[in-house]
Amino acid sequence: MVLWPWRRSQGRAFLAGVAFIAVAIVTGIEAYIVIGPLVIPTTDLEARPLLMAISAGSLYAGLAFLLNRSEVLVRRSLLRIRHGPLPFLWSRRLTRDVIDQLYCKESRREWKDEEDHEHLTVSFSLVAALRSGRRVTLLSGLESADQALWLERAFEQMLAIEDQPVAGESFLSMAKPGRR
């Protein structure tokens, strides 16, 4: 059994959390605050519940990005990924009999900053190819190929999955030791 606490990149999680909380504050103010003679314009009273829902959802998402950790549990026939302490999307529970293969996927994002300098961000994901043909991302935002490959190997070993090439697999995974 492996129990592995994992936290997404601190910088990105912090920025995402702050952004969601800022949206929550702005939409909350838009929906309900009246300051002296100045009324922040909400022309339609029916829009207030929608704005409050956006505010509450953004606040929850922001707190989840700031506080949550991902916990990975692997046993002989079970792979479980849980996010907490605030329940959040993307928790997974897969049994060995539904998993066909695990593989790493590389994601590249090119972008320009305010000064028109080009940047490249590379991250890695651990993906499960299911027997049904679906692909399920188990972990994303991994910052190194070594980390993703180590997790893939460890999980496959614990779940007794024989490593096979998968379409869409990162080229780095294809060159791993022991690959036939």
For a pLDDT cut of 90, what percent of the chain falls above it?
Answer: 15
Distance, CA of 115 to CA of 173 (rounded, Å): 35
To 10 degrees, the CA torsion angle through 166, 144, 87, 47?
A: -90
Query: How high is the pLDDT of residue 25?
Result: 74
Average pLDDT over residues 54-80: 80
For a pLDDT cut of 70, what percent of the chain falls above it?
Answer: 71
8 A C-beta contact, residue 101 and residue 89: no
Could you report the per-residue pLDDT of 134-161, keeping only the tens digit for each? 999 888 878 888 888 998 999 999 999 9
Instruction: Sketch the domain layout of the chain as residue ranges.
Output: 5-67, 97-174
What's this model's pTM, rounded to 2 decimal places?
Answer: 0.67
Q: How confident is the model at residue 13 (pLDDT cuts 50, 70, 90)?
A: low
Could you report the per-residue pLDDT of 85-141, keeping only the tens digit for each? 888 777 788 999 999 999 999 888 887 878 888 888 888 889 999 999 999 988 887
Q: In a 3-state reduction of DSSP, which class is residue 135?
A: strand
Closest CA to 6 of 74, 72, 80, 85: 72
Q: How confident is the model at residue 165 (pLDDT cuts 50, 70, 90)?
A: confident
